[in-house]
Structure formats: C-alpha cells, structure tokens
Copies of this chain bind each other. A is one copy, B any other.
Amino acid sequence: MKPLSPTDQLFLWLEKRQQPMHVGGLQIFSFPEDAPDDYVSKLAEQLRNDTDVTAPFNQRLDSRLAQPVWVHDVHLDLEHHFRFEALPTPGRIRELLAFVSAEHSHLMDRERPLWEFHLIEGLSERQFAVYIKVHHSLVDGVSAMRMTQRMLSTDPSKRNMPPVWDLSVRAGQKVDRSEPSLWHSIGHLLGASGKQLGTVPTVARELLRTVTAARKDPAYNSIFHAPRSILNRKITGSRRFAAQSYCLKRIKAVCHAYHTTVNDVVTAMCASALRTYLMNLDALPDKPLIAMVPVSLRKYQKPDGSKSEGQQAEGNQVGVILANLHTDESDAGTRLRKIHQSMQEGKDRYAHMSPEEILNYTALTLAPAAFNLLTGMAPKWQTFNVVISNVPGPKEACYWNGAKLEGMYPVSIAMDRLALNMTLTSYNDQVEFGLIGCRRTLPSLQRMLDYLEDGLVELEQALVS
C-alpha cells in the first residue's frame, strides 16, 4: 500500500468525462526479415501468456481513510490490459490514427491497474503497431517514454524480450516514480502542506492566493500576457490524434544555417503550423501566441555554446519557458530568429536562479492554468495558449524481438482551455510529432501535419533565396 503523492492526486481530481488524464505512446514496428505472415498473431499469443506483471503495472487505486492509495491488484485480469486488435482495410496510417484517436478518448477503468497495451495488426507493408495507454497518476510522460525504451534494444538479433508490463524493476531504483514532472512543481508550490491539503477547494484556494500575490510583483508580471484564442476553449470528450515523422537531417541543416538549436527549429515549425491552421479558420489572434515549453535545466546550467539543447538533456531540474511564437510575423526566417531570441530569454531568466527559485517560478507559471482546471472557471489570466513538449528519445535504431521500431509518437493530454498538445520526441534520424486535440474545438487537426512540413519547407526556402 502506497499513498499517492499530491501531484498524482491532481491527475485524479482533474479527470472528468470530457478530460481523461492518461498519456500514451504509439510505436510502429516492421516485421523481422524472416517473420511469417502470421507473425503478429503469434506475438499476441506469446504476450497473452506473459502473466508476470511487475510494478507499477500490478497496482490499482484504492482508498484508505479517504486518501487514495496504490494497492497490489490480486485479481489482475491480463485480458483487460493486453488487447490484440486490428486495423480495417486498407490499413494505412490514416486508419491507425483513427484507431488511436478513438481509444485515447476513452476513460480508463479506475478499479483496475491504469494501463492498457494494444497490439495492432493489419498495417500494410509488413508492419504492426503498439499503442500503450497509462494514466498520468501512475506514470508521467517522460517515465512512460523511458519504460518504452527499456523494452527495446539496439541489437536486432536479441530475442525473448518481455513486454513493458514484465520488465523487472532495477534494484534500488524507483524507475517510474522518480522522474521530474512539471506537475510536481505545483506540489512544491503548495509547500510541505501539500501532502495534507487533501481536497480540490483547498488546493485551488492556495493557488489563487499565490497567483494574486504574484501579479503584484513586477518581476513575475511578464508571465500573464497570452492572447485569447480558440485553443483556449473548453473541450469535449473526443480526441483527434495526428502524428508524423520529420527528417532530423533537414531540421539540423536549418538550425545550423540560422545558428539556432534543433528545439528552436521544431518550435518554429509548430509556430508556423499554428499560424496557418488558425488563419484558415480565421481565428489567428493579433497578438502572438505563447507556448509553454518544458525544458530540462541541468545542461543549461553548464552551457556549451549555441548548440545547447536544453530539452534533450537528461536531468532532474525542469523549468518551463513561455516562448513567444511570433505568430503575427509573416516571414518564416524572421519568425525563427525571434523565437530563438524568445527561448534564449526564457533560459537566461533561469541562469542565475537557485534550484529553489526555478521551482517557484515554474510552479507560478503553471499555477493559473492549474487553478482554472481545478475550478472550471474561465481564465482571468491566460499565461499560455499551447503546450509544446519535447521528450528525449533513443538516438539509435531500436528493435523489439527483432522487429525494427520505425517510428514512435507521444500521445499526450488535451485539457479545458488547452485544447491542443504538441509533443515531440527524437528517434534515430527522425523527429516524431504527436498532436492530440479536442476533435470539436479544433476541426481537422490532422491538417497541422502538412502545415508542420510546410513550416520546415518555408525555412529551407528562405535559406535558398
């Protein structure tokens, strides 16, 4: 029996019918070369028999003295968690994304361990997919990505590799609970009292007090300047997931030419996609959109020049940058330069902060959004419009029992007033984008995939001309 941290309780509190709080990951594999045509169904049979379920996958929610706790699930029913499914013909990526969109819209059964593993056959060209869904109260996004990586190997000849629910936890390491999390900083903001707060109204009151105090402080005033936009409406319960890989080499070429980081370029691609998407809906605000960008700060504190890539660093100090996306700027090259400057300013702000100050600043940046989410009240302060998150991924080609991982895409959370989440990860020679959004608030979200590509092409063309 283990009590949930205040942060993990947040994800239970925030969850409602229209706002499920699980995260996911989609992986596409190709068959091993010598695999028979019924490879996936044989794999399914093998996985179905892998009934050794390790922590945290064997933990379910319970409550003790009105507090949520994790307990060992003695009735674990693997058939509920491991699902073997198929795509309809013609089995294109389009059908796969429709499948993930529908599955990611469904709430999870809170009376069971909060994870699902979907093995998906029916993709064309001898490929198959895995969609893993885990509740954010059980595992955060970065940890989920790490766990997935632990399931994989860079050795294509390796076999007998267990699925993610049967990975032994390395001794002395709380692999899946000790990761840095932005939401943990809210817990920090609430201070030592956080553990005793216990109820939503108390937490909300604390947040409001802190935010109101901060508005009077000129040093924090800069974090309350985002425009209103359709991205910041209330959401419905159905999702659209869109995902695509982009060539890292092309992105790096742009980043070298402009003397920016890879992260600046992908942020500029997002800015361009958002600009085009909102312009087509006649909904682009006059003022530039602001993105909340989580950054890892360890490497930043020991800067190594212009190629420092905060987000791709490993570390346990996380901050957020409120990046001005300059969506009011029509020239792509100028926009990238301005975004680079905006990101740099954000990082500079952290440069002389103590770890304690970084935690405070980060928590405060998130506090208004957390307050609105918890109370359901319309935001008085729009601090940011969209979340753009870059999760570190494997740098080399990976394999699972000889099946090559062709692409891996994060599936994150859309929330009230934050109808779109753009999460990306790097894998081998690719940058993998996963966009999740409310299907009604953001119609035809999948068009953004083309606009991201257009954003990259724009930057390449600006170089040529």
Enumerate chain A interface residues (CB-CB to B < 8 A).
Answer: 17-18, 38, 40-41, 44, 75, 77, 79-80, 83-90, 95, 98-99, 102, 105-107, 109-112, 121-122, 236-238, 439-440
Contact = CB atoms under 8 A, between A and B. Distances in A.
Contact of A89 (B18, B38, B88): B38
A26 to B, nearest CB: 17
A237 B112 CA distance: 9
Given A85-B88, A86-B88, A121-B89, A109 B105 contact: yes
Nearest to A37: B89
Contacts of A110: 17, 237
Which secondary structure dominates chain A's binding surface?
Answer: loop
Contact of A111 (B80, B88, B440): B440
Nearest to A91: B86
Count of this chain's copies in the oligomeric assembly: 2
A77 B439 contact: yes
Contacts of A109: 17-18, 105, 236-238
Contacts of A440: 75, 77, 111-112
A110 B238 CA distance: 10
Nearest to A122: B86
Lowest 8 A-B CB distances belong to which pairs? A86-B86, A111-B236, A109-B237, A86-B88, A41-B89, A106-B106, A84-B88, A109-B238
Contacts of A79: 98
Contacts of A86: 85-89, 122
Nearest to A84: B88
Contacts of A236: 109, 111-112
